Amino acid sequence: MTRLVCVLLAVAMLGGARLAAGADEKPGKSPEKRFARADKNGDKKLTLEEFVGKRQDEKKEKAVKRFGRLDKDNDEFLSLEEFMAGIKKKNK
């Protein structure tokens, strides 16, 4: 019985450490993978259409506004760096 309690305690401690280590990361795909998936033509930049994707109505409007805020150099494309900066800012 004592051995079982020790094993369960060790598992709980390791699980807590893993949660703490990944506390600042969202579950799911990495930002790089999300960017690559949205980049339909593989040119390493997102157009407005690629960024908006299949969103409709209010979500589409919000995505269009967000694209404008993220496009820091106003070239009408999002680079991976601009995309990543937006994700970091959104997660704060």
Burial of 77 (0-12, 13-18, 19+ CB in 10 A): middle
Q: Is position 36 within any domain?
A: yes
Please state the pTM of the whole predicted model: 0.66
Q: Please report the pLDDT score of residue 11 as a whole number.
A: 54
Q: Is position 72 within any domain?
A: yes
Q: Is position 47 within any domain?
A: yes
Q: Please report the pLDDT score of residue 88 as a whole number.
A: 80
The domain of 50 spans: 26-90
Average pLDDT, the chain: 81
Degrees to nearest 5, angle at CA 77 with 59 and 31: 65
Q: Is position 20 within any domain?
A: no
Q: What is the pLDDT of residues 38-67, one digit of tens each?
A: 999 999 999 999 999 999 999 999 999 999
Q: Please report the pLDDT score of residue 28 as a whole number.
A: 76
Number of structural domains in the chain: 1
Q: Is position 85 within any domain?
A: yes
Q: Please report the pLDDT score of residue 14 as a whole number.
A: 53
The CATH number of the domain where 81 resides is what? 1.10.238.10
Q: Is position 18 within any domain?
A: no
The span from the CA of 25 to the CA of 88, in Å, is: 10
